[in-house]
Structure formats: structure tokens, C-alpha cells
Chains A and B, each alone.
Chain A
Amino acid sequence: MDKASQKTKKETVRKVSFPVIGMHCASCARLIERRLKRVPGVVSCSVNYASEQAVVEYTPEVGGKDLSDAVSELGYKAILEKEVEKESLEDIEKIKEEEKRKELDDLKIKVVFSSILSILIFLGSFPEWFGFLPKFLSSSFVLLILATPVQFWAGRKFYQATWSGLRNRAASMDTLVAIGTSAAYGYSLFSTFFGGHLYFDTSSVIITLILLGRYLEAKAKMHTSSAIKRLLGLQAKTARALFVKAEGFKAKNWNKDGKYEEKDIPIESLEVGDIIRVRPGEKIPTDGVIIEGLSSIDESMVTGESLPVDKKIGDGVIGGTINKTGSFIFRATKVGSQTMLSQIVKMVAEAQSSKAPIQRLADTVSSYFVPIVLILAVLTFVVWYDLGYPKEAFVNMIATLIIACPCAMGLATPTAIMVATGKGAEKGILVKDAASLEIAKRAKVVVFDKTGTLTQGKPKVTDILPFDYSSSSSMGINDLLQIAASLEKGSEHALGEAILEKAKVEKLEVKEAEEFRSHPGMGIEGKVGGRFYVLGNRNLLNKKGIKIEEKVERQVNKLEEEGKTVVFLAEGKKLIGVIAIADVLKNGVKEVIKGLNKRGIETWMITGDSQRVAKAIAKKAGIQNVLAEVLPEQKAEKVKELKGVQEKVVAFVGDGVNDAPALASADIGIAMGTGTDVAIETAGIILLNRDITSVLTAFDLSRITLSVIKQNLFWAFGYNVVLIPVAMGILYPVFGLLLNPALAAFAMAASSISVVGNSLRLKGMKI
């Protein structure tokens, strides 16, 4: 399905999930399902007996009553109050946090308990070192009593996981721990009754250390996903909605003189069109448009934009941001999962679940890892035994099982991606998937769209030159501007808007123009104050037979070389002045280009402007290469050409609707947040803070993340490649070294924690 049709489908099909009461078996669920599917307009339906929930997708013509009637017809009851989204991310986060806390508490108790027992076992196992301790502690039966709860109570999870895995013919980390420690415990149990060496210290210490490692790892991992929690925390809980006084229903139309009362309502019951008041210092509850009042709003938490933004009537506000000074009233335009904040949360969550291509190797290895380690452990035993070292055979086999750490490999990339995407979101840089983050680092060519990306996208009047010669009246700058503005009154053309804006700034009165006529693509003409004027480009002057003197031509050429667009104003057949209009470069553009060049990245600018204007702007920005006079639909082609010719990784930075194909065809698309949804959909990285300098930050984030991932992978692979053979006893023939299984447990626990810790380092890094 293509994106467009998917989008329309999304818009027309609604989804509701509601509890159904009265089901007593799975076939009831099927029955309800079949009935609901027969309701006209229901697209899909599923009823879950276990959770007692029905999920229905339907077109807008279906009402809640249709659904509840269908259910009650069968003798069940549907609790259908209002449309709700499926279990929201926030709920899941809450459940997850609760379960994590429980897990941590449980682990803590087990770690403390098994630590105490393990210390006692350790002391008792080496009476020759700790002679001062009572003798009974060294009794094999006492050691057995102490080791048993550690093995089966503290270590219960290892057995559970092993058992369920084996039933599925799968194995994990826990399988290795369970088999390793069971071997040590089982052998010692046998020795307790029939004589032989005891390994209770080994089994207990391994379990304790691995549990401790798990505890620390779980604690550290909680920090890796804090970005989503932070974003979810931005959401306001209530909104102060306006209700029509006396009537008691929510106001949908705003009238200054209307009588309203304000009520705090939960955010979930907000609907599009609701009218909401926000007072100073309050959180804005949802996305909308201001209809009364003005204020300064701190949007930093959502967009990363550091300065408060001034907003007036007609301006959009973002849910989750904070109103600083004024009180205002706005109309909700988006609620629930459609708000910008929800979309950001969704995107961050998606990015964190995507896979970086660099992870592929680790994936392949980890799917064979545990069975291979099991085989290596068996071979270790066989070889050592055959060489005549039965005791070493046993110890080395356990060490091999314990030292192997597939976890570190599994954690290496995802933890780094999680922390990096979170860090990016904090700075207003949304990374849509891990692959974009990885590719960004390799970018060798960056193509910038001109208008709106490098420039403000709003042309401004830069020069007004009146020609004071032989005219009946000598014109001043303001006179010229006033006439031009009067002719342009009501214009929607970008250049006209620039002239009107300038007149407004100069507080000039804009007069009515008479006998107005427009010449598309050339300019306009009309009477202002009884005199006839022509305003337009060179083509219009030619058409009207108005001559441009050489002196004027020189001035005009100079302006054009500076990248400005020149508009001529003539009174009758006489040229009386020119107005130069230019789009101004955004702040920081030069620094970005310099920074990219410094990093060895080629810069290009792509625009529909004429060569002359384009070159002038590129020169100002410091960009080396220009692609001018490119029609919007050709942008993607040009990007593809660049990719093909150079065989380099090409990034495209743009914002407008017409940039979408180019963003998609580049290896990595970077969209400015001010842009439209379409552009954002096709981009891999979105700069929500609208700050062009974030392009550099995004590249730096990519570079740093990649280096952390590489360190992690190197460490995780290196650890296993080096230490597994050591545990098998490869150093013994030359150095006489063997790895103590308890030490192996320590190393194993440390390796996972170090990988998570290294990823967390990204949080504190300055980019």
C-alpha cells in the first residue's frame, strides 16, 4: 500500500477498544466477534476472552450505540463510554515501571540474602585460611544447608528460564548459568555423602555475582529509556475547558462577550474544537491555535528551541510546552495520539526499536552462541579429562559455561541507540531510525535546499532606490514604498508581501489602487492618488516600452549580483525607482557550512532561482557547489544523480512539501521541523528546533554514537573471544593459568554492566 492511501485509511478508520462483561469461555468471544463484524461499517474486530476486551475498527458512520446494541443482543454487556485509543504507551510505561521496580526489589533481597550465605560458605570452604572460625562451618553438611537456598531460591529464575527454553529447544544465558552452577552443586552434593571435593563456594558465589550483575544492569538500563519517560511526563493531566454558562456543555465557538465557565477536565476527554484557557506558568494541555490573548511560550522541552517564542492570535501552540507570561485562550486542533508530543514519543519509541545495520553481525553470532558454548564446555571437559586432569576438567567446564556472555553482544547496539535517540530528542533532533543515525556518520555530501532551509524563506525588502531626476515630483524612499505597497495591497505573492511588510514596519498608510491590472509573472499596474504606476520586472518594462538608463542598469546589476531580486517602479513611462528584495540567510548557516567542510563534507545548494541569485547566496553562505534553476520535481533526480556520480553517501536537508521526494531519495534525509508533515514523513532525521546548526549536531551525534557502538561491540566480542578460550584452559600449558569459575562470574557480570555503562556515557557527552 502506498503512503497516501495508507494515510487516508488512517483518517477514515477509527479504532475503539472496550471491555465486554459476561463472557465465560473463548467461544463467547468468537460469537461476539462474529456479531460485531456484521455491524455495517465495522472493518475489523477482535474480542479477547482473557483480557475481556473487544477491539473494533470502524468507519465514521458507526456509532458507539450500534456496537453496544450488537453486544447486548447476544446477552453480554459492552462498557462503551467513549472512544479510546488502544492501551496507550503511557499505560504500558507505567506497568513496565511497576514490574521493573518489583523485579529490582526482588533482586535486591536475593542479592543481599545470597551474599551473606555465600560469604559464610566461602569462609567455611577454606578452613586452612580462616582457622579462627568455628569448625562446624566447614562441615560439608552445614555447607550443603547454606548452599541449597542460594541454588534453588535465589537461583530459581535461572532454572525457570532454562526449563521453558529447553521445552522450546532454545537456550539463553540462564541455561549456561543453570547448567554451570548445577554441575558444581550436584557434584558437591554427591561428595557430601560419598566423599570428594566440594564446590559449594563456586556455585553460590557464581549465583550471587550474576544476580548482583543483573541488579546493577537493570538499574543502569532504566536510565537508557528515560527519554520516553521524560517526554510522557511533559503531558498535562488536565485542561481548563470553557463551558457555555447555564447550558453546561463545552463551548465550541468563542465569543468575547459570551458567558463561559471554566472547568478542569481530564486530558483524555478533550476533543478537537474544545476551547481552553491557559494561565501564566501553566502547561499547555494539547495542540491548538490561539484565539484570544498573547503570550510568550517556552517550547524548549518539546522542540529544543532555547528561547521562549512569542505567540499571538492565530499562532499555533504545542501541547506539553509551558506558558510563560500572558493568559490566552486557544482552540484544540489535535488531541490524544495526534498531538505533536504523542507523535514525537511514538517516533522516539520507534527509533529505539529499529535496528542499526552494524548490529547484524552480533545478531548472527548471538543466535548460535549459547549452543556453541555448551558444546565447547563439553569438549573442554573431555579434553582435560582425557589428558588426565579430571578435577581441572570439571572446573574449566564450569568456568567456560559461566564466562560466556551473549548479553553484552545483545546490549551493545540497542543501548547506545536508545541513549542517543533520547539525547537527540532532548536537543530537538528526532532520529527516526537507527539506520539513519548510522548512515549520517558516513555522509560525504550534503545538499541543502535553499528557500526555508538556508534562508528564512520570507523575502525582505533590502534596498529602496528612488531616482531623483527630471521627475515632476522628487520621490523619497517612503513615497516610493507607499506607492508600491498600495499597488500590492492584498497581494499574496512573496515579493508583494515583502513590500507590504516593509510598509507596515515604516508605518505607512496603504492607499486604494484604482484601475488595477495584474500581469502574471511580470508585475502589476494601477492608479494611486490619481497617478498611473507600473510595478514589475524587466519584462514588464519592456512590454510597456519603458527604458532603463545605463546608470540605473549598473545599479540594478550590482543588486542582482548580491543575490537580490529587483522590482522596478515607473510613473507613466518614467522609471522612478527600484526596490530590491532578498531572502535573508538564517543565522548560523555560515558556521554550519564551515563546520561541514572542516569535517571533510562537500556542500551543495539546490534551488529554483536563477544562476546569478543562487550563486550570490551560495557565496554568502560559503557553499561550494550550486544547482540552480532546478524545478521542484527535479530535486530528487538531482540528488539521485549526485549519489550515482559520486558514489558517496548523500544527505539532503530540506523542509518544504516539494522536498519530500528529495528527502526520500537521499541516503539520509534531514527535515527542518518547521516543514510540513509530508517532508517529515520521508526524512530520517528531523530538526524540531528549526535550528540549522543542529545539522552539525546531528552529524556529531551520529559520529559519537557510532564510536560508542563500535567500542561496545569490540568489547563484547573481544571479551568472549579472549576469555572463553582462557576459561577452557588455553593458557595452562604455557603459563599454568586457569580461570576460577567465581572469577568468571565476576567478569561476566562486569562485561554487561560495562557495555550499558559505556552507552550511558553518551548522555553526558557534549555535542
Chain B
Amino acid sequence: MTADKLLVTIFGVGLTALIWWFFFGKKEEVVEAKGEVDIVVEGGYKPAIISLSKNKKTVLRITRRDPNSCLEEIIIPEFKIKKYLPLGRTVEISITPQKQGEFEFHCGMNMYHGKIVVE
């Protein structure tokens, strides 16, 4: 194996590991919503994991700052919510979880994800 090939191989393997770590190795912070929580949509959801209390109404105040049309809708299947998020405007979604568990939410094309943890 020539030096350049060796270099490419090492670099490639390193890059693969980096991609893996970068996308799958992140630790999400769980944010506790105390009756309400502000979520900013910018290249994903910040915060992406929200913990709520069962049977307690929580208002999610969502503001989209990202013009990417992928993120223009937020879908929370468990609560049958699909909302269009006009750019730069805050949209309020009220939910009252009735059971415990982890419920995913995601963008209209299901590429950006977040989670609602009901405790």
C-alpha cells in the first residue's frame, strides 16, 4: 500500500468514527417544562428533550428561526398535533399528557427529532 492510500484509509476510518461520534454520540440535555417551555427550531429543536408531568397542561412555545422548509412543520403524533410554524413567529401548542412514556416529535419530513418525556 502506497503512502497516499494509507493516508486516505486512515483518514477515512477516522472520519467514519468522527461522523458516528458526532451524530450518535451527543448527549441531549433533558429540560423540565414547568407549565411551559420555549423551543427554538434552528437546525433541530432546542431543547430537544422535554420532560413533562402527567395530567398537567404544558404550553410548548415554539419559534422557528430556521428557513429550511424541512422544519416548517412540527409533528407530535402521540398528541395528534401537526402545526405549521411560520418563520419567526411563536406558535403555542398546549398538551396535557395522559400517560407516562417517551413520545417522539419530529419535523414534517421526519429528519429532525425531539422527545417528550412524561413522568
Q: Whole-angstrom distance from the CB of A227 to the nearest CB of chain B?
A: 13
Let me know if A381 and B12 touch, CB within 8 A. Answer: yes
Q: Which of A152-179 contact B (CB under 8 A)?
A: 157, 160-161, 163-174
Q: Whole-angstrom distance from the CB of A341 to the nearest CB of chain B?
A: 19
Let me know if B110 and A170 touch, CB within 8 A. Answer: no
A102-130 vs B, CB cutoff 8 Å, 1 = contact: the mask equals: 01000000000000000000000000000
Let me know if A367 and B12 touch, CB within 8 A. Answer: no
Of chain B, the residue at the smallest CB distance from A168 is B44
B65-101 vs A, CB cutoff 8 Å, 1 = contact: the mask equals: 0111110100111001111101101111000101000
User: Which residues in B have their C-beta under 8 angstroms from that of A367?
Assistant: 110, 113
- 20 example contacts (A-B, Cβ-Cβ < 8 A) are as follows A1-B98, A51-B90, A87-B91, A95-B84, A103-B69, A160-B67, A169-B44, A170-B23, A170-B112, A172-B112, A174-B68, A353-B75, A353-B76, A375-B19, A378-B12, A382-B13, A385-B8, A386-B1, A410-B110, A414-B75
Q: How far is the CA of A382 from the CA of B7 in the complex (A)?
A: 10
Let me know if A51 and B86 touch, CB within 8 A. Answer: no
Q: How far is the CA of A556 from the CA of B92 in the complex (A)?
A: 66
B42 within 8 A of A: yes
Q: Whole-angstrom distance from the CB of B4 to the nearest CB of chain A?
A: 8
Ranked nearest first, the 9 interchain pairs of A and B with the lowest CB-CB distance are A353-B82, A164-B43, A382-B12, A355-B77, A168-B44, A161-B68, A410-B109, A371-B23, A350-B80
> How big is chain A's contact interface, by range?
35 or more
Q: Whole-angstrom distance from the CB of A749 to the nearest CB of chain B?
A: 15
A722 within 8 A of B: no
Let me know if B111 and A378 touch, CB within 8 A. Answer: no
With A96-B86, A349-B82: A168-B42 Cβ-Cβ less than 8 Å: yes
Interface centre among A96, A351, A353, by most B CB within 10 Å? A353
A506 within 8 A of B: no
Q: Which of A379-428 contact B (CB under 8 A)?
A: 379, 381-382, 385-386, 406-407, 409-411, 414
Binds B, one of A42-50, A187-195, A583-591: A42-50
With A86-B92, A174-B68, A354-B77: A375-B16 Cβ-Cβ less than 8 Å: yes
With A46-B59, A166-B43: A352-B68 Cβ-Cβ less than 8 Å: no
Q: Whole-angstrom distance from the CB of A564 to the nearest CB of chain B?
A: 45
Q: Whole-angstrom distance from the CB of A338 to the nearest CB of chain B?
A: 17
Q: How far is the CA of A375 from the CA of B68 in the complex (A)?
A: 24
A92 within 8 A of B: yes
Q: How far is the CA of A75 from the CA of B19 in the complex (A)?
A: 54
User: Which residues in A have their C-beta under 8 angstroms from that of B84?
Assistant: 92-93, 95-96
Let me know if A433 and B80 touch, CB within 8 A. Answer: yes
Q: How far is the CA of A96 from the CA of B85 in the complex (A)?
A: 8
Q: Whole-angstrom distance from the CB of A159 to the nearest CB of chain B?
A: 11
User: Which residues in B have their C-beta under 8 angstroms from that of A51?
Assistant: 89-90
Interface centre among A163, A174, A218, A367, by most B CB within 10 Å? A367
Let me know if B82 and A164 touch, CB within 8 A. Answer: no
Let me know if B82 and A157 touch, CB within 8 A. Answer: no
Q: How far is the CA of A16 from the CA of B86 in the complex (A)?
A: 21
Of chain B, the residue at the smallest CB distance from A13 is B57
Let me know if B96 and A157 touch, CB within 8 A. Answer: no
Selected contact of B9 from candidates A171, A214, A386, A411, CB within 8 Å:
A386
A363 within 8 A of B: yes
A16-36 vs B, CB cutoff 8 Å, 1 = contact: the mask equals: 000000000000000000000
A55 within 8 A of B: yes
Q: Whole-angstrom distance from the CB of B104 to the nearest CB of chain A?
A: 8
With A1-B98, A353-B75, A406-B111: A378-B15 Cβ-Cβ less than 8 Å: yes
Q: How far is the CA of A84 from the CA of B87 in the complex (A)?
A: 23
Q: How far is the CA of A161 from the CA of B43 in the complex (A)?
A: 6
Let me know if A354 and B23 touch, CB within 8 A. Answer: no
Q: Which of A118-158 contact B (CB under 8 A)?
A: 157
Q: Whole-angstrom distance from the CB of A734 to the nearest CB of chain B?
A: 24
Q: How far is the CA of A349 from the CA of B80 in the complex (A)?
A: 8
Of chain B, the residue at the smallest CB distance from A51 is B90
Let me know if B110 and A366 touch, CB within 8 A. Answer: yes
User: Which residues in A have their C-beta under 8 angstroms from that of B67?
Assistant: 157, 160
A50-71 vs B, CB cutoff 8 Å, 1 = contact: the mask equals: 1100010000000000000000
Let me know if B12 and A379 touch, CB within 8 A. Answer: yes
Q: Whole-angstrom distance from the CB of A34 to the nearest CB of chain B?
A: 13
Interface centre among B77, B83, B112, by most A CB within 10 Å? B77
Q: Whole-angstrom distance from the CB of B19 to the nearest CB of chain A?
A: 5
B20-46 vs A, CB cutoff 8 Å, 1 = contact: the mask equals: 101110100000000110000011101
Q: How far is the CA of A87 from the CA of B42 in the complex (A)?
A: 23
Let me know if A50 and B90 touch, CB within 8 A. Answer: yes
User: Which residues in A have their C-beta under 8 angstroms from that of B63?
Assistant: 50
Other than A46-B36, A353-B77, give 12 A-B pairs with Cβ distance below 8 A. Answer: A6-B96, A86-B92, A168-B44, A173-B70, A174-B70, A214-B69, A352-B82, A355-B75, A379-B16, A386-B8, A406-B109, A409-B110
Q: Whole-angstrom distance from the CB of B112 to the nearest CB of chain A?
A: 6
Let me know if B111 and A410 touch, CB within 8 A. Answer: yes
With A165-B44, A363-B110, A410-B110: A385-B5 Cβ-Cβ less than 8 Å: yes
Selected contact of A48 from candidates B19, B70, B90, CB within 8 Å:
B90
User: Which residues in A have their C-beta under 8 angstroms from that of B48?
Assistant: 168
Q: Which of A403-459 contact B (CB under 8 A)?
A: 406-407, 409-411, 414, 433
Let me know if A375 and B83 touch, CB within 8 A. Answer: no
A338-368 vs B, CB cutoff 8 Å, 1 = contact: the mask equals: 0000000000011111110000001100111
Let me know if A164 and B113 touch, CB within 8 A. Answer: no
Of chain B, the residue at the smallest CB distance from A376 is B16
Q: How far is the CA of A169 from the CA of B112 in the complex (A)?
A: 10
Q: How far is the CA of A382 from the CA of B8 in the complex (A)?
A: 6
A99 within 8 A of B: yes
User: Which residues in A have their C-beta under 8 angstroms from that of B19?
Assistant: 371, 374-375, 378
A370 within 8 A of B: yes
Q: How far is the CA of A433 from the CA of B108 in the complex (A)?
A: 17
Let me know if A371 and B109 touch, CB within 8 A. Answer: no
With A51-B89, A355-B77: A164-B35 Cβ-Cβ less than 8 Å: no
User: Which residues in A have their C-beta under 8 angstroms from that of B112?
Assistant: 165, 168, 170, 172
Let me know if A167 and B43 touch, CB within 8 A. Answer: yes
Of chain A, the residue at the smallest CB distance from B5 is A386
Selected contact of A161 from candidates B55, B70, B77, B83, CB within 8 Å:
B70
Q: How far is the CA of A93 from the CA of B86 in the complex (A)?
A: 10
Let me know if A55 and B80 touch, CB within 8 A. Answer: no
Let me know if A160 and B68 touch, CB within 8 A. Answer: yes
Q: How far is the CA of A354 from the CA of B75 in the complex (A)?
A: 8
With A350-B80, A353-B80: A172-B68 Cβ-Cβ less than 8 Å: yes
Let me know if B12 and A173 touch, CB within 8 A. Answer: no
User: Which residues in B have their C-beta under 8 angstroms from that of A163?
Assistant: 43
Let me know if B68 and A157 touch, CB within 8 A. Answer: yes
Q: How far is the CA of A168 from the CA of B16 in the complex (A)?
A: 19
Let me know if B55 and A382 touch, CB within 8 A. Answer: no
User: Which residues in B have their C-beta under 8 angstroms from that of A46?
Assistant: 36, 59, 61, 92
Let me know if B66 and A164 touch, CB within 8 A. Answer: yes
Of chain A, the residue at the smallest CB distance from B75 is A353
Q: How far is the CA of A95 from the CA of B13 in the complex (A)?
A: 47
Q: How far is the CA of A354 from the CA of B90 in the complex (A)?
A: 22
Let me know if B68 and A351 touch, CB within 8 A. Answer: no
Of chain B, the residue at the smallest CB distance from A156 is B67
Q: Whole-angstrom distance from the CB of B22 to the nearest CB of chain A?
A: 6
User: Which residues in A have their C-beta under 8 angstroms from that of B110?
Assistant: 362-363, 366-367, 409-410
Let me know if B87 and A99 touch, CB within 8 A. Answer: yes
Interface centre among A93, A99, A160, A433, by most B CB within 10 Å? A99
Let me know if A411 and B77 touch, CB within 8 A. Answer: no
